[in-house]
Chains A and B, each alone.
Chain A
């Protein structure tokens, strides 16, 4: 399995939902999707194509937020190919449907992204605080650009 074959597979199964697809090297494929389609596409890739959900990652870009869902095709080659589903979210109020109903492994990473970047995952089954301390103020997202926590938290216990 190489990236060309993966591109072919994804084109066939996701079809018109793909906004953009690229394979920068033989091991990686990037697919840009509309945020509204992410749950459906994650289900197809995870359930029908049988990919393992690796991890998701969130980033604050120049003008928007990006969430990347990394899926691994690892059937025949030892290292396999990683296909990344990418969605762009609004900078003011980043919000996307949670994929944890179709991919249960995504539950904790979505909680983490919510806490550290402030990305809202709609219909998430359990959105309790995961990593930050109990006394950490709500609405302060430490991994956003700049130092958003400055002046809002005490640096001493």
Chain B
């Protein structure tokens, strides 16, 4: 297991991108971090800069303006990074799919295989989010030397 993956699994720092969500998923993310669920005891910490992040939490259906930002932020994140789509909107745009101001969905926007975990729900429960992150980390542990995200990252290693 590479040092980068080991460090990522030890304490995945997360960066929260709200790409035009209704704020419900965002409130539930904050719930995870608050004392009731307190994911910080597992080393999961919310960070203010994308450069420090190991995982991106993306909420919302993404509109024409925010999708550009999401793509930019993904490109700025140090790899390997986990991309966690939180909520039905981020997973498949929900009923906003045919709306006038949405573009393609998150997994079509980012490179193929970039999205690691989909956590559906409107909003998903904090338990579901924690389970999603645990599953992503489990996936990492199994893959050993391979980076989590498939696709373009694979070529680099």
Q: A-side interface residues toward B, CB under 8 Å?
A: 132-133, 135-136, 142, 147, 149, 153, 155-157
Contacts and interface: CB of A to CB of B under 8 A. Distances in A.
A156 B102 CA distance: 9
Interface string B43-87: 000000000000000000001110110010000000000000000
Nearest to B109: A157
B103 A132 contact: no
Contacts of B103: 155-157
Contacts, number: 26
Nearest to A135: B64
Contacts of B104: 155-157
Interface of B: 63-65, 67-68, 71, 100-104, 108-109
Q: Interface on chain A toward B: helix, strand, loop, or mixed SS?
A: loop
A37 to B, nearest CB: 34
A153 B65 CA distance: 14
A83 to B, nearest CB: 30
B122 to A, nearest CB: 23
20 contacts: A132-B64, A132-B101, A133-B63, A133-B64, A133-B65, A133-B101, A135-B64, A136-B64, A142-B100, A142-B101, A149-B100, A155-B102, A155-B103, A156-B103, A156-B104, A156-B108, A157-B64, A157-B71, A157-B103, A157-B109
